[in-house]
């Protein structure tokens, strides 16, 4: 594949810059409406908190047709000097370029890593292009731990509505925490800080023609950093508010992509996670404070109906790899009324581990297997909603903590049945 760095205009820009201290990357695809705000926040963050550092903003674009790259090129902070106490010593360079390769966020990130590597940058960050809640302080919080604390990877920590991020809360966070032993609360958050050394490491991995390039880059970055013993922290960024996703999007496809990427990483790092006994906290940077959150509506009846439909239509598939006691439990749950509907944490942990084992052993078509998880996931989310309808944010976090502990307690089941 032709490297983006072989393009003449990119070579000229890199020759002009030569090297840099800081790089902030923004992957994009048709984000003209929101990316101007993100670019301005990034530029102010660099100017305000790193006035004497040579810095580069890189927009890695997936072929936008709405003028996204033009917005990036034309967005300046000339009208924002009133909030800057120090005059900028170094200019902020800007590179806006389409990426090459498989369409997807991972290919966009590869371009960012390549430019970071050739410029020998010390610290990098990537932020989503549809963020409405980003502030200049995010750049300080993601970059400063790398420059001053010698951290290699800074994951984001957000406050989110209790029913936002349910795939993370019910599957990805408990599973990755139990597997790799680090309590990284938002392993697929989308906004990260990392060292130049870690960017170089990512480039050595032969994943750029795989599904990591399409999707799964966030969990791949987090897991690769943790599993290879890079120094990890997380930074509290406040609220994450971004463009609402298409409500008509196929949930089973999203679940297939995210869970599939997580299961793939279990294959890569099985030698490591089998030795991890329990999890430990990671250092959190930034002052944590209460934030206003946009409400997330949930249709409880619809989730339970889809769970029950799955019980009637997919039990023949599940019986091939779920233990008899869990099959029996699910059959009974299919008849429960909403008021008594619950999927206990230990049962849910075993279900996820059974799906991981079935994927590992190729017991049936991988896509069919993972998409058949959707009604069970909806059942677990419905159970969680019923239990937390009157709960505060803190009480919900305690409930998620209990789920994580169940995943850690049930991990022996995974290890004993993996091989």
Residue 290 placed within a domain: no
Task: Mark whether 120 and 38 lie in a shared domain.
Answer: yes
Residue 294 placed within a domain: no
* Residue 125 belongs to domain spanning: 4-285
Task: Mark whether 279 and 306 lie in a shared domain.
Answer: no
* Radius of gyration for the chain, computed over Cα atoms and rounded to the nearest angstrom: 22
Residue 246: what pLDDT? 43
Q: Can you give 201-214 as a three-state secondary structure string? A: HHHCCCCCCCHHHH
Task: Mark whether 174 and 55 lie in a shared domain.
Answer: yes
Residue 295 placed within a domain: no
Exposure letters 58-68 (e unless 16+ CB within 10 A, then b): bbbbbebeeeb
How many angstroms separate the Cα of 288 from the Cα of each of 157, 159, 378, 396?
9, 9, 31, 17
Averaged pLDDT for residues 390-410? 94
Averaged pLDDT for residues 36-50? 95
Which strands, in side-by-side order, build the sheet including 153-159? 92-98, 55-61, 22-28, 123-126, 192-195, 153-159, 232-239, 283-285
d(CA 396, CA 163): 10
- pLDDT confidence tier of residue 189, bands split at 50, 70 and 90: confident
Q: Which helix (H) or strand (E) holds 385?
A: helix 374-388
Task: Mark whether 265 and 324 lie in a shared domain.
Answer: no
Q: Which residues contact 83 (CB under 8 A, 6 or more apart)?
A: 44, 48, 136
Q: For all residues of the chain together, what is the average pLDDT?
A: 91
Task: Mark whether 163 and 235 lie in a shared domain.
Answer: yes
pLDDT, tens digit (0-9, with 9 covering 90-100), for 113-145: 999 999 999 999 999 998 888 999 999 999 999
Q: What is the largest CA-CA distance in the chain?
A: 68
Residue 325 placed within a domain: yes
Residue 236 placed within a domain: yes
In this structure, are residues 192 and 221 in contact, taking their beta carbons and an 8 Å threshold?
A: yes
Averaged pLDDT for residues 201-228? 93
Residue 201: what pLDDT? 98
For tokens 């300080």, name the residue: 140
In this structure, are residues 171 and 268 in contact, taking their beta carbons and an 8 Å threshold?
A: no
Residue 214 placed within a domain: yes
pLDDT for residue 248 is more than 50: no
Q: What are the backbone angles phi and psi of residue 156, rounded to the nearest 5°?
A: -85, 150
pLDDT for residue 245 is more than 70: no
Task: Single out the residue of 163, 393, 176, 173 nearest to residue 300, CA to CA.
Answer: 163
Task: Mark whether 160 and 307 lie in a shared domain.
Answer: no
Q: Which residues contact 204 (CB under 8 A, 6 or more apart)?
A: none
d(CA 248, CA 384): 23
Helix 324-333 × helix 345-360 angle, to 10°: 120
Residue 293 placed within a domain: no
Domain boundary pick from 228, 260, 285? 285
pLDDT, tens digit (0-9, with 9 covering 90-100), for 75-100: 987 655 555 555 556 779 999 999 98
Report if pTM > 0.85. yes
- pLDDT confidence tier of residue 110, bands split at 50, 70 and 90: very high
In this structure, are residues 235 and 283 in contact, taking their beta carbons and an 8 Å threshold?
A: no
Residue 292 placed within a domain: no
Higher-pLDDT residue of 8, 132: 132
Handedness of CA 206, 211, 217, 223 (dihedral sign): negative
357 forms beta bridges with none
Task: Mark whether 407 and 274 lie in a shared domain.
Answer: no
pLDDT, tens digit (0-9, with 9 covering 90-100), for 310-330: 999 999 999 999 999 999 999
Domain boundary pick from 228, 253, 285? 285
407 forms beta bridges with none
Burial category of 173 from C-beta neighbours within 10 Å (exposed 0-12, middle 13-18, buried 19 and up): buried
Task: Single out the residue of 349, 341, 337 nearest to residue 383, CA to CA.
Answer: 341
Residue 406: what pLDDT? 98
For tokens 């003028």, name the residue: 67
Q: What is the dihedral of CA 329, 402, 307, 335, to 10 degrees?
A: 40
d(CA 93, CA 42): 12
Domain boundary pick from 216, 250, 285? 285
Residue 161: what pLDDT? 80
- pLDDT confidence tier of residue 369, bands split at 50, 70 and 90: very high
Q: Which residues contact 334 (CB under 8 A, 6 or more apart)?
A: 307, 308, 311, 312
- pLDDT confidence tier of residue 247, bands split at 50, 70 and 90: very low
| Domain at 39, CATH number | 3.90.550.10
How many angstroms separate the Cα of 265 from the Cα of each of 95, 217, 411?
32, 11, 16
Task: Mark whether 384 and 246 lie in a shared domain.
Answer: no
Total count of domains within the chain: 2
233 forms beta bridges with 154, 283
Task: Mark whether 62 and 185 lie in a shared domain.
Answer: yes
Task: Mark whether 216 and 279 lie in a shared domain.
Answer: yes
Task: Mark whether 334 and 223 lie in a shared domain.
Answer: no
Task: Mark whether 196 and 329 lie in a shared domain.
Answer: no
């Amino acid at each position: 594949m032709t490297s983006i760095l072989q393009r003449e205009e990119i070579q000229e820009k890199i020759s002009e810059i030569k090297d840099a201290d800081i790089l902030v990357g923004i992957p994009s695809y048709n984000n003209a409406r929101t990316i101007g705000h993100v670019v301005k926040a990034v530029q102010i963050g660099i100017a305000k908190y790193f006035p004497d550092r040579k810095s580069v903003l890189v927009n890695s674009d997936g072929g936008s047709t709405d003028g996204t790259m033009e917005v990036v090129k034309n967005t300046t902070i000339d009208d924002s000097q009133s909030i800057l106490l120090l005059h900028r010593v170094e200019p902020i360079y800007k590179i806006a370029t389409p990426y090459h390769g498989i369409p997807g966020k991972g290919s966009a990130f590869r371009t960012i890593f390549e430019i970071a590597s050739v410029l020998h940058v010390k610290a990098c960050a990537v932020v989503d292009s549809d963020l409405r809640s980003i502030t200049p302080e995010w750049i300080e919080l993601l970059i400063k731990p790398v420059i001053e604390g010698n951290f290699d990877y800074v994951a984001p920590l957000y406050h989110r509505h209790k029913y936002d991020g349910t795939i993370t809360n019910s599957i990805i966070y408990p599973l990755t925490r139990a597997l790799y032993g680090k309590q990284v609360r938002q392993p697929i958050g989308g906004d990260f800080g990392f060292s130049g050394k870690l960017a170089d490491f990512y480039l050595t991995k032969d994943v750029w023609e795989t599904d990591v390039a399409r999707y799964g880059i966030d969990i791949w970055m987090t897991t690769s950093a943790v599993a290879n013993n890079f120094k990890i922290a997380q930074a509290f960024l406040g609220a994450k508010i971004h463009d609402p996703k298409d409500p008509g999007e196929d949930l089973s496809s999203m679940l297939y992509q995210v869970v599939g990427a997580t299961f793939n990483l279990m294959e890569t790092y099985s030698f490591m996670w089998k030795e991890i006994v329990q999890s430990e906290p990671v250092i959190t940077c930034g002052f944590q404070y209460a934030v206003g959150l946009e409400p997330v509506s949930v249709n409880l009846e619809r989730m339970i109906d889809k769970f029950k439909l799955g019980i009637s239509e997919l039990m023949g598939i599940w019986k091939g790899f779920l233990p008899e006691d869990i099959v029996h439990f699910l059959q009974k749950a299919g008849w429960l009324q909403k008021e008594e509907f619950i999927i206990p944490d230990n049962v849910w942990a075993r279900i996820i581990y059974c799906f991981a084992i079935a994927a590992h052993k190729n017991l049936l078509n991988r896509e069919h297997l993972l998409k058949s998880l959707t009604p069970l996931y909806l059942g677990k989310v419905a159970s969680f909603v019923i239990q937390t309808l009157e709960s505060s944010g803190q009480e919900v976090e305690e409930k998620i903590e209990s789920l994580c502990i169940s995943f850690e307690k049930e991990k022996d089941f995974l290890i004993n049945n993996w091989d």
